[in-house]
Every structure is written in structure tokens, then in C-alpha cells.
Amino acid sequence: MVVLRTFSKAASLAGCASATASPTRTRIALMNRIRQPFNVNSLAQAAARAALDDDAHVLECVRMIEAGRHFLYDEFKSIGLQ
């Protein structure tokens, strides 16, 4: 089993993602064939790890994203866009 997660929206860490896989050489080798040509550095890994533990931050980010979406919808509606 492979679990993929992005941190770009809810944790405000654009470009940061994590992958966890059962530690078999075959699965890891397959993932290495399709992964991006760069790895996430240790600072980004620490930020992702902290983001996983900070539920309040994630909830605040989601709230801001939703508020921004509603703002855009209202502005689009005010100029006649659907």
C-alpha cells in the first residue's frame, strides 16, 4: 500500500508532499521511477511533520481558503459572472 498526501492547501506548504510505502524494494523502486527529479529537503520535511501535528493551523488555513473562495464568488456575482 502507498499513501500519498499533499500539504499545499490545508497546511500552506505548496510543493511539499509526503509518501509512505510498505518498505519493499520493488515498491520503492517503482516510486523512484516516477518521482520528481528532486527530493524534499530536511527543512521542508520538518515543516510537513510539524504541520501534521498542528490541527489549529490547518483549520485556520482551511477557514481562510473558504473565506477567499466566498469572496471571489461574491465578486464574480457582482459583475454578472456565473
Write out pLDDT tens, residues 51-61: 878 889 888 88
- Asked whether residue 15 carries a pLDDT value surpassing 70, the answer given is no
Q: Give the Cα separation of 16 and 64 in Å (integer).
A: 19
Q: Give the Cα separation of 5 and 9 in Å (integer).
A: 11
At 78, the pLDDT band (50, 70, 90 cuts) reads: very high
**What are the sequence ranges of the domains in the chain?**
2-78
Instruction: Give 6's contacts (C-beta < 8 A, 6+ positions apart).
Output: 16, 17
Q: Give the Cα separation of 72 and 60 in Å (integer).
A: 18
Q: Which residue would you say has higher pLDDT here, 23 or 44?
A: 44
